[in-house]
Structure 1
Amino acid sequence: MTHAPRPDRGAPAPLPLPVSKLILFDLDGVLVDTLPVMRSAWQAVCAQHGIDIPFRSYAKHLGRPFSDIMATLGVRQIEEVASTYDAVSTRDAHLARPFPGIEAALHTITAGGQRIGVVTSKPLARAVPLLERLRCPFSVVRAPGRERGKPAPDTLLAALVETGTDPADATYVGDMAVDQEAARRGGLRYVHAGWGYGEPTAPEPLTAHEPAQLFGLLRDSLAPEEAA
């Protein structure tokens, strides 16, 4: 029996992303830079509803459904605030930009045989137009409906049910601690998007520092007959 060469002890070997049949992505902070849109919408909320909460306090909770963030921040008029936030977010959606290299990375991943999808806390009415800019073949796009939002794993599991995928065959790429927790609770592998808005929690996950690195991790994990 032959053994693979041992890595140089002077530098840890890179950890490859395990092969997955379905790669799910968060939207904000992973696929699209929507921070300018969110800042504009939150400033409008504060001005119109007399709320004195800085954007940085709101941004700490990104990844969770908007109503959950409002409850955490102690905002009571949630429906009125949500209406303002949605209207301004739609008006200023042009400020959002796909992260450099993300579209090419997605196309490369799908060309390698993996399916891709999106699980986001953003309402579908605002998520879908942003995703259309990427011109990618998403197999599934899910946002909380009756399901609980992140960090609960419900929307991730709903995406798996819709695509007929086992949790062991799926990976979630996110940028916030709630994404990491949702993946853990759902039994999915997790990869942290180092170009996003948040920081991971312990245990330290596999991290892609730029979109182009995602395919490299996938490619390096393929068996020789699959990579040929």
Structure 2
Amino acid sequence: MNLPADAAPTASAAPGATVLTARAVLFDMDGTLVDSTAVVEQVWGEFATRYGLDIAEILRTSHGVQAGDTVRRFAPSGADVVALTAELGAMERVRTEGIVALPGAADVLGSLPADAVALVTSADRVLADIRMEAAGLAMPDTAVTGDLVTRGKPHPEGYLRAAALLGVEPEDALVFEDAPAGIAAGLAAGIRTVAVGPNTGELPDGVLHIADYSTVTVTTYVDNAGVTAISFRF
């Protein structure tokens, strides 16, 4: 069921504010709900040092992308990509120091109906559970992790699967993402996408950008069709 016309982005009564309304909300994890920058930079820094690679270039292109895709891109010719990816994953799973939730993320997650929210992350389920717990955030009942998709971001598979699991059409959902690959995935899925944080890159026209969730207000209500809707005021 599509959203009514008045659910499209509109200017609110507050000057400069924007309202977006959806039936379901899909969140990326790292950089979007969870700040895991310290761990990510540490692990990839060790990988770069081992092979004499440019860490700045790795970090620039790895945000939001499955680890295996990054290893495949940067590892030396002949390297065992599967083994290296598994090694890096094992390193990430035991390093949680410095992982925190983005400001306001816990309040926003806690205000959403459980059957209308999903996590869509390039991390596998084990790492996703570890990082969400380390950040003090509840894992949504619906989660599409990297091990459940055949094509990672920027491909839209994960977001399309999450929308289907929640029983909504893409145009009735809203994505929150922090990285160019994830933003591209959300838009490719036909889902309105909100960019979060400082690592979004140059944004396509019409994509709203927020620093974090500290000023976001969430309202849940039943619309004229008797369907629960979620309104975000930015």
Question: Where on the TM-score scale, by shorter chain, does this alignment land: which range?
Answer: 0.7 to 0.9
Gaps of 5+ in 1: 1-6
* 2:53 maps to amino acid: I
2:122: which partner in 1?
A: 121
Name the structure where helix makes up a greater proportion of residues: 1
Residues 1:79 and 2:82 aligned together:
yes
CA contact (8 A) 1:25 1:172 kept: yes
Rounded to whole Å, the distance in 1 between the matches of 2:199 and 2:214 is: 18
TM-score (norm 1): 0.79
| 1:197 CA displacement | 2.8
Alpha carbons 1:44, 1:84 under 8 Å: kept: no
Q: Which runs of 5+ in 2 are unaligned?
A: 1-10
Which of the pair has more CA radius of gyration? 1
Q: Shift of residue 34 of structure 1?
A: 0.7
CA contact (8 A) 2:143 2:162 kept: yes
After superposition, where does 1:1-228 map in structure 2 within 5 Å? Answer: 13-17=16-20, 19-47=21-49, 50-61=50-61, 62-76=63-77, 77=79, 78-108=81-111, 110=112, 115-132=116-133, 133-136=135-138, 138-144=140-146, 145-193=148-196, 195-215=197-217, 218-219=218-219
Q: 1:16 offset after TM fit, Å?
A: 1.7
Q: How many residues align?
A: 210
> For the residues of structure 1 that align with 2:145 and 2:181, how far apart are their CA atoms?
15
1:152 alignment partner AA = H
Instruction: Return the offset for 1:106.
Output: 1.7
Q: Aligned letter for 1:129?
A: I
| CA distance in 2: counterparts of 1:222 and 1:196, whole angstroms | 34
* Alignment RMSD (CA, Å): 2.9
Q: Is residue 169–residue 188 contact of structure 1 (8 Å, CA) maintained in 2?
A: yes
Distance 1:136 1:149, change over 3 A: same
Amino acid at match of 2:91: V
Identity %: 19
Distance 1:23 1:175 in 2: 15
Quick one: structure 1 residues 220 and 196, their matched pair in 2 at CA, closer, same or farther if it must change by over 3 Å? farther
Deviation at 1:105, TM superposition (A): 2.2
Deviation at 1:24, TM superposition (A): 0.6
Distance 1:156 1:197, change over 3 A: same
Is the 1:63–1:150 contact (alpha carbons within 8 Å) kept by the matching residues of 2?
yes
CA drift of 1:87 comes to 1.8
Tell me the distance in 2 between the aligned counterparts of 1:92 and 1:136.
Answer: 19
Displacement after TM superposition at 1:220 (Å): 11
Distance in 1 (CA, whole Å) between partners of 2:200 and 2:59 is 9
- More strand, by proportion: 2
1-structure distance, mates of 2:205, 2:43: 34
